[in-house]
Amino acid sequence: MSEAVSALAGKSSSGFVTVAEAGLQGMITLRADLSAPATAEAVRAVTGLDLPAPRRVTSGGTGAVLWMSPDELLILVPHAEAPAAVARLDESLAGAHHLAVEVSDARALFTVTGAAATDALRKLAPVDFDAMDADEVRRSRFAQVAAATWKSGADEWSVVCFRSVAAYVFGCLANAARSGSDL
Amino acid sequence: MSTRLTRGGRLIDRSAPVSFTFNGRKMQGFAGDTLAASLLANDQLLVGRSFKYHRPRGIVGSGAEEPNALMGLGTGNRFEPNQRATTTETFDGLVAGSQNHWPSLEFDVGVVNNALARFLPAGFYYKTFIHPRAFWKHVYEPIIRQSAGLGKVPHEPDADTYEQAYGFCDVLVAGGGVAGLTAALAAAKAGKRVWLVEQTGAWGGRAPVDGCEIGGEPAQAWIDATLAALGGMENVTLKTRAMVSGLYDHGYALVYERLADTTPGDGRPRHRLWRMRAGQVITATGAIERPLSFYGNDIPGVMLASAVRDYVVNYAISPGDRTVVVTNNDDAYRTALALFDAGLVVAAVIDARPRADGALPELVREKGIRVLEGRAIAKTHGSKRVTRVSVCAQVGEGAVLEEIPCDCVAMSGGWSPVVHLWSHCGGKLTWDEAFAMFRPDPTRPPLGDKGQPLAVTAGSASGAMTIREVLEDAHAAGGGEGAAPAASGPAEAPMMTAWVMPAGAPTKMRAKMWLDYQNDVKVSDVQLAAREGYTSVEHTKRYTTLGMATDQGKLSNINGLAVLSDALHQPIPATGTTTFRPPYTPISFGAIAGEARGEIFQPLRKTPADAWHDANGAHWEPVGHWRRPFCYRKPGETVHEAVNREVTNTREKLGLLDASTLGKILVKGPDAGKFLDMLYTNMMSNLGIGKCRYGLMCNENGFLMDDGVVVRMSEDSWLCHTTTGGADRIHAWMEDWLQCEWWDWKVYTANLTEQFAQIAVVGPNARKLLEKLGGMDVSKETLPFMTWAAGTLGGFDARIFRISFSGELSYEIAVPASQGRAFWDRLMKEGAELGVMPYGTECLHVLRAEKGFIMIGDESDGTIIPQDLGLSWAISKKKEDYLGKRAQERSHLADPDRWQLVGLETLDGSVIPDGLYFPAEGTNHYGQRNTQGRITSTYYSPTLKKGIAMALVKHGPKRMGEVLEFPDTEGKMIKARICDPVFFDKEGAKQNV
């Protein structure tokens, strides 16, 4: 297999917080009946994680499970493991109506790191970050494109968007994090 | 003259002098000054010219209401016109210039208008320039445009940065005067998340200037203590230089924060626009004093009484050596007292009321100042500065009783609450007869999503007129527990309306009484409008331009509609107000644009191979938000030459197209086949696994909306290719049907468009290239036309779709986007000896047109059905239903007279211009020439070495061989023969090898 590269090859920029493309990240879209025990079991088998409640994230180890909609999850696993994880999900859910598909390369993932990380995010997304719980994920709009964001570390937020607009979102985040423009 | 006093000035820092220039003259001010204060300190009272008559204009107000002191600020890439000197803070290096004068502020040739003023009545432009009609466009408008407009347009891109941010709070308090502070503290103590924003740089509003006492102390002490308390609370956000510019539905409010106006180039954003969601908005926006309408009330030196004492108390400015106060209320006496306390001369207080014996007038009399009761100003004398006033009785017609020399007139016609925010989103007003003002009606507030009040007013904005009422009202507005802060002040006697001064002023005087200073609207203009039949206040506003200037009538509106009501013989509430619209005062375009400029002006979607295209001569074309190569130019090549080369090379050797932008939607589930049979006009459920089929999608009105190749991936999954622009739309369309209509069907979709880089390998050498890469059998037998296979191709995870949009042997190969660039590079490298060349979207268009393939957006335009395009073969006759089926059976869509797709070739081989219509005999019922068809696509075919076109023609397929004659855009006649739209390789031999 050819060597894979992420949309911006790990580009980063430092202002009052640091914005960096996170590189390759395995991602799987799973659409299924989230109330079915089989779905939870299948996800646990792949990630070791519980299903998140609506608008929540469960994370641990090298993975995370993000609630996207009443019948959709975004599952994060290491990039190289995504195809195998899809196969395992298909196997576990055989017979149950579901759709599991790799979307790793359809997306770009960014981290925004620093004590004032949300100051940068507040300039782009109509999200009340003060009212968000630590394990919440928010699908919203970042400037002119769709994106999702969640707190992925002590001073770190993750932002995931579509791959084709990676340069735009990076530009917006870096601009929002410009030194001297903290809120 | 106006000058700086040696003592006082609560807002200025005398230890921090600043220098600035005005019209090139160097001047000095202090930190804390507004530009207006600094100009007055330098005896620069004359600050501009009025719009229509070019009359001299002086500073009138001290805040957002200022109509006259408009400046062009900054230079070059930081120049900005129409900035109010009263809200601009002076800083070292500030460059300011006055506007609307030529050749100079002191001597203006436009002032000749003055003598012609009586020839420029209300509606002058409408009346004069309406005939002859044709003159408007070619003669009148260009001339008027020359002389119109106050400020100059900046000519360089703005050097500063701007941004927006989203804010959330329970309570947004607009206005940081004592009312706002009180309301904010009350709300904050109740645990609410509070934002308190103040448009100026200073907290406290008018209370310290007006000498109020709160809690037994001077107002300033209470303000300082309250600010300290608020500053210590975690749930409170305090912002100065931040104005709530508008209130919108559902508690959405815009807060315009000015961060770096006084420190240009310091790296911070100049302005920040906060897009707020507030649970509740408290408008503590204060009140604005009204001018009085008397002869010559626009002469520089005539100022609002409140502004005069603002300048004295806040900035230690003496606006004049000798001031006359003219009023119809007690409040203006505070100005007399402030002037007296500063050691300045108050020549007299002219009070329109027959009696002035309240506490404040008595206090003024005690200082030895003359109080003239029942008097008015008959005339203000002077041109660029007031020199004296003539006094008359208010009740008479203006017979002069005495003359009083003065160089400043401080006028007060009472106060109007600032109701703008309250009104922006539907809050209603009620007329208060006692104070002659429209005040917010608390029983009819702007409403939120559940019918709850969105806003509540506090303090003077409610119409509260004494400090005690202000604080009680604000405390209640903030939901305060217990008693409001105690306050006391002198009792005030009732005011008396004096809309025209004197009451019986004859026409000649009324023609010199200014209502709108900036637009030169006078009492006589409004009265003329009423006589001419204008009864609606909104019409009168537009006819006279009253309140249409950059100040939006903050001073003139109430006076104007009082005059209008009088002329219409109706009470003021029957006339009503004009509409209050955001923003409260103008906000910068930069703040509105926010981050959206330059590289991030809008999203630019890029494929994984984008950088290669960019480095290899791509001539870009926007397709949706994507950028795609239109063609790849080689050095010295024109775009046209490049396209022709790409077409020929692809037909003869090997072309590569970056088709990654095509939509790819995975549809999976037990009901997926049934679902796709409904979405597409043809059958998809019976497509064999491993097979591909071209499909058409129509909307429920029967019109063609998208096309593409559908691929059967497995027993229960299909991959639907859409057009580039259709990917997101079609995915949403699918979800719409699944979520809203067929919610019980077991189907899931996923938009995989960007997961894959998809490269079309096209041309006679296509198979050779793939065989060279190796790893998959791409032979005709194993991978025939319209099939697909997955595997490893040259080390890449690949799906190969054997489909063709060019008529050539063609494979579209999808690899994960993370491998896309490497795959492209490999194809280019391995293809070199096979004559590979990339091709762009225009070559794609020519290739498909040579084959007669339709293009969504060219042959279709939202009014075209597949049957128009000879695509009946792709419409299932067997299916009971599909989206659009019933619509296509309606009479107009089933009409045999509908225009049908044909090919066209010119008799001389030339290329037909795009978009032409073919005329037919006769005219329609609008008297327009009948038509019988139009061009949908037209190209030069390098393969056939002539122009080819596709067209929709009435009964077209039955008219093969007929020659149409039609004019081009220059009127030259074109002759073209109707032919089969498939121009090249009609048998399809080339693609099926």
The pLDDT score that the predictor gives to residue B992 is 85
Which residue of A24, A102, A181 is in closest CB contact with B163? A181
The 3-class SS string of B238-271 reads EECCEEEEEECHHHEEEEEEECCCCCCCCCCCCE
For residue A79, how many other CB atoms are within 10 A of its CB?
A: 19
For residue B105, how many other CB atoms are within 10 A of its CB?
A: 21
Start-end of CATH 3.10.20.440 domains in chain B: 3-126
Q: What is the pLDDT of residues B805-862, one digit of tens each?
A: 999 999 999 999 999 999 999 999 999 999 999 999 999 999 999 999 999 999 999 9
Q: What residues in B contact A144, CB-CB < 8 Å?
A: 596, 602-603
- The residue-averaged pLDDT of B42-55 equals 88
- The residue-averaged pLDDT of B175-183 equals 98
**pLDDT band for position B726 (cuts 50, 70, 90):** very high
Q: B859, B862, B845, B857: which is closest to B952 by C-alpha? A: B859
Q: Are B668 and B717 in contact (CB under 8 A)?
A: yes
Which of B255-259, B541-545, B835-839, B849-853 shows the lowest per-residue confidence on average (mean pLDDT)?
B541-545
**pLDDT band for position B106 (cuts 50, 70, 90):** confident
Q: How far is A174 from chain B, CA to nearest CA, in Å?
A: 11
- Could B596 and A143 be called an inter-chain contact, meaning their C-beta atoms sit closer than 8 Å? yes
Q: What is the pLDDT of residues A25-77, one digit of tens each?
A: 999 999 999 999 999 999 999 999 999 999 999 999 899 999 999 999 999 99
Residues of chain B with pLDDT > 70, as a percent, come to 95
Q: What residues in A contact B605, CB-CB < 8 Å?
A: 162, 164-165
b/e sequence B166-187, b meaning 16+ C-beta within 10 Å: bbbbbbbbbbbbbbbbbbbbbb
ipTM: 0.97
Inform me whether the pLDDT recorded for B122 exceeds 70: no
Q: What is the pTM of this model?
A: 0.93
Question: In angstroms, rounded to a whole number, what is the distance separating the alpha carbons of residues B245 and B610?
Answer: 42
Question: In angstroms, rounded to a whole number, what is the distance separating the alpha carbons of residues B34 and B307?
Answer: 12
Averaged pLDDT of chain B: 94
Question: In angstroms, rounded to a whole number, what is the distance separating the alpha carbons of residues B478 and B230?
Answer: 14
**pLDDT band for position B54 (cuts 50, 70, 90):** confident
- The neighbouring-strand residues paired with B408 are B323
Which of B134-143, B390-399, B416-425 shows the lowest per-residue confidence on average (mean pLDDT)?
B134-143
Question: In angstroms, rounded to a whole number, what is the distance separating the alpha carbons of residues B39 and B868?
Answer: 73
Q: Are B809 and B990 in contact (CB under 8 A)?
A: yes
The pLDDT score that the predictor gives to residue B147 is 55
Question: In angstroms, rounded to a whole number, what is the distance separating the alpha carbons of residues A32 and A39?
Answer: 7
Mutate to test the interface with A, among B600, B664, B739 (most CBs of A within 10 A): B600
- Could A183 and B605 be called an inter-chain contact, meaning their C-beta atoms sit closer than 8 Å? no
Start-end of CATH 3.50.50.60 domains in chain B: 162-287+417-488, 291-408
Inform me whether the pLDDT recorded for B107 exceeds 80: no
- The residue-averaged pLDDT of B318-343 equals 97
Q: How far is A115 from chain B, CA to nearest CA, in Å?
A: 17
Residue of A nearest to B266 (CA): A180
Q: What is the pLDDT of residues B493-514, one digit of tens each?
A: 999 999 999 999 999 999 999 9
> B115 to each of B54, B124, B127, B258, how far by Cα in Å?
11, 15, 20, 42
Inform me whether the pLDDT recorded for B130 exceeds 80: no
Q: How far is A142 from chain B, CA to nearest CA, in Å?
A: 11
Inform me whether the pLDDT recorded for B431 exceeds 90: yes
Mutate to test the interface with B, among A168, A170, A172, A173 (most CBs of B within 10 A): A168
Which is more confidently placed, B146 or A71? A71
The pLDDT score that the predictor gives to residue B314 is 98
* CATH number at B499-585: 1.10.10.1100
Instruction: State both tokens at B477.
Output: 């507005």
**pLDDT band for position B136 (cuts 50, 70, 90):** low
- The residue-averaged pLDDT of B361-386 equals 97
Inform me whether the pLDDT recorded for B491 exceeds 70: yes
Question: In angstroms, rounded to a whole number, what is the distance separating the alpha carbons of residues B970 and B913?
Answer: 10
Q: B855, B858, B874, B878: which is closest to B866 by C-alpha? A: B874
- Could A103 and B822 be called an inter-chain contact, meaning their C-beta atoms sit closer than 8 Å? no
Start-end of CATH 2.40.30.110 domains in chain B: 896-993
The structural architecture, per CATH, of the domain B162-287+417-488 is 3-Layer(bba) Sandwich (3.50)
- The residue-averaged pLDDT of B185-201 equals 98
- Could A5 and B604 be called an inter-chain contact, meaning their C-beta atoms sit closer than 8 Å? no
Question: In angstroms, rounded to a whole number, what is the distance separating the alpha carbons of residues B456 and B464?
Answer: 13
Q: What is the pLDDT of residues B964-990, one digit of tens each?
A: 999 998 889 999 999 999 999 999 888
**pLDDT band for position A3 (cuts 50, 70, 90):** confident
**pLDDT band for position B420 (cuts 50, 70, 90):** very high
Q: Are B655 and B762 in contact (CB under 8 A)?
A: yes
Q: Are B171 and B195 in contact (CB under 8 A)?
A: yes
Which residue of B595, B752, B821 is in closest CB contact with A5? B821
The stretches of B545-587 forming alpha helices (DSSP H) are 557-567, 572-575
The pLDDT score that the predictor gives to residue B55 is 87
Which is more confidently placed, A147 or B152? A147
Which is more confidently placed, A3 or B315? B315
- The residue-averaged pLDDT of B273-288 equals 97
- Could A144 and B168 be called an inter-chain contact, meaning their C-beta atoms sit closer than 8 Å? no
> In this complex, how many residue pairs, one in chain A and one in chain B, have their CB atoms less than 8 Å apart?
136
Q: What is the pLDDT of residues B331-348, one digit of tens each?
A: 999 999 999 999 999 999
Averaged pLDDT of chain A: 97
- The residue-averaged pLDDT of B441-458 equals 95
Q: Are B515 and B560 in contact (CB under 8 A)?
A: yes
Question: Residues in chain B, how many?
Answer: 993
- Could A105 and B816 be called an inter-chain contact, meaning their C-beta atoms sit closer than 8 Å? yes
For residue B285, how many other CB atoms are within 10 A of its CB?
A: 30
Start-end of CATH 1.10.10.1100 domains in chain B: 499-585
The correct CATH number of B896-993 out of 3.40.190.10, 2.40.30.110, 1.20.1270.360, 1.10.10.10 is: 2.40.30.110
The 3-class SS string of B870-885 reads CCHHHCCCCCCCCCCH
- The residue-averaged pLDDT of B878-886 equals 95
- Could A101 and B666 be called an inter-chain contact, meaning their C-beta atoms sit closer than 8 Å? yes
Which residue of A24, A144, A167 is in closest CB contact with B606? A167
Q: Are B421 and B429 in contact (CB under 8 A)?
A: no
Residues of chain A with pLDDT > 70, as a percent, come to 99
Question: In angstroms, rounded to a whole number, what is the distance separating the alpha carbons of residues B494 and B954?
Answer: 81
* CATH number at B604-884: 3.30.1360.120
Start-end of CATH 3.30.1360.120 domains in chain B: 604-884
Which residue of A3, A99, A165 is in closest CB contact with B605? A165
Phi, psi at residue B162, to the nearest 5°? Answer: -135, 160
Residues of chain B with pLDDT > 90, as a percent, come to 90
Inform me whether the pLDDT recorded for B658 exceeds 80: yes
* CATH number at B291-408: 3.50.50.60
Crossing angle of helices B537-544 and B557-567, in 10° steps, is: 110
The pLDDT score that the predictor gives to residue B969 is 87
Which of B95-104, B255-264, B816-825, B871-880 shows the lowest per-residue confidence on average (mean pLDDT)?
B95-104
**pLDDT band for position B1 (cuts 50, 70, 90):** confident
**pLDDT band for position B146 (cuts 50, 70, 90):** low
The pLDDT score that the predictor gives to residue B144 is 57
Instruction: State both tokens at B367.
Output: 């200082």
- The residue-averaged pLDDT of B763-782 equals 97
Q: What is the pLDDT of residues B13-40, one digit of tens each?
A: 999 999 999 999 999 999 999 999 999 9
Indicate the helix (H) or strand (E) that contains B10: none
The correct CATH number of B3-126 out of 3.20.190.10, 3.40.50.11890, 3.40.190.10, 3.10.20.440 is: 3.10.20.440
Q: Are A86 and A100 in contact (CB under 8 A)?
A: yes
Q: B666, B722, B721, B664: which is closest to A163 by C-alpha? A: B664
